[in-house]
Structure 1
Amino acid sequence: MNNQSQTLHPAAPQTQAISTGSVVTQVSSVLAGIVLLILAFAWLARRLGFAPKKVSSQELKMTASVQVGQRERVVIVDTADARLVLGVTAQHITHLHTLPPAAPEENAPSGAAPQDFRQLLQNLVKRPGKHP
């Protein structure tokens, strides 16, 4: 009868205790893999040209802009050897005129204090044609 009681009531399954060290190791290795995957995708995007190119502000600088239509504007862009007057639309950029390079004192930053964040945000949010 002793044999029958063992067959009717099988032994409870053994549960293994999971050590904290192994869980931390698994989680950190998965996180490290994800970070490496993100870095690999960023490198690949840069190599294939999906990332925007950085343009130095000394090479090209937009000094003036005026809105002439709903989606059209005229801008003045300073380069090293000329100032370009360009017409910009949603589809095209048209060269309108070439001006001589600006005098060095014109390119020097003015002594005015920089705008605070609130003023910069208001300038960005402000729509053309509407006055506060």
Structure 2
Amino acid sequence: MRRLPLALPALLPAPALAEEAGSTLMEPLAGGRILEILLGLFAVLVFIGVVAWLVRRMPGLTRSADGSLRVVAGIPVGQRERILLVEVGGEQIVVGVAPGRVELLHHLAEPVSSTTKGDEGSDFAHRLQERLQRLRSRK
């Protein structure tokens, strides 16, 4: 019974509430309001685009639930085709991925160690450092 007086204004028709407010209401399609609405919509769309870009760039967000499946490495071989090295429960397989199709290419008897990838990265860093030193010595 005590809640009924609190709910009573919600039962009043909207024109009665509008009359009480008087001239404080703004037209929803007034000049500045349209610009505000469009800028707000643009900000939301930019935010969605940024979040989608981040999700695609962060491989840690696309892991399987229990961690038993992960992509070790991948290389594009065409415009929409890739070859992936996938680790499944300690075993590694090479699969070809194309739109609408995934095909087993090879089952590795001996898994490729992940240290090889780190060595390539440090080799690249070493070569980059040498190249930068050569460029600096020329000046």
TM-score, normalization by structure 1: 0.38
Question: More helix by proportion, 1 or 2?
Answer: 2
Bigger radius of gyration among the two: 1
Larger RCO: Structure 1 or Structure 2 (Cα < 8 Å, ≥ 6 residues apart)?
Answer: 1
TM-score, length-scaled by structure 2: 0.36
